[in-house]
């Protein structure tokens, strides 16, 4: 079950990283320009979430299997976020919030 939490953290991290890109930000919010502090904050949050997912999988499975699992999870997360951006980009902020909430609930329960 904690692997699902790591997957959700990966999805949230990839969503945050994609929101830091100007093109995707414009797709979702309709604003072409991003402030530098917002880009920095979104990137920092995205990388922090991805690192947290990596630490979770390594603690769960050990170093070699944990990093392998983490690489597979973030690859799947990137594909999911990419498809979401292609078809329904305005859902991405809601997915980000839902993934963070679900990961938090999973870590509280287990």
pTM of the model: 0.89
- pLDDT score at 29: 82
**What is the tens place of the pLDDT at every residue in 29-80?**
887 677 889 889 999 999 999 999 999 999 989 999 999 999 999 999 999 9
SS (H, E, C) 43-88: HHHHHHHHHHHHHHHHHHHCHHHHHHHHHHHHHHHHHHHHHHHHHC
pLDDT digits (tens, 9 = 90+) for 56-65: 999 989 999 9
- What pLDDT is attached to residue 47? 97
pLDDT at 33: 77
Tell me the domain boundaries of the chain: 2-109
């Amino acid at each position: 079950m904690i692997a699902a939490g790591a997957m959700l953290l990966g999805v949230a991290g990839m969503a945050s990283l994609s929101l830091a890109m100007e093109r995707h930000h414009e797709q979702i919010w309709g604003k072409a320009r991003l402030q530098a502090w917002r880009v920095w904050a979104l990137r920092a949050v995205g990388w922090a979430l991805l690192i947290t997912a990596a630490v979770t999988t390594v603690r769960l499975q050990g170093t070699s299997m944990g990093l392998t699992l983490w690489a597979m999870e973030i690859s799947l997360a990137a594909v999911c976020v990419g498809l979401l951006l292609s078809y329904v980009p305005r859902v991405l902020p809601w997915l980000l919030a839902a993934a963070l909430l679900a990961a938090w609930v999973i870590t509280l329960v287990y």
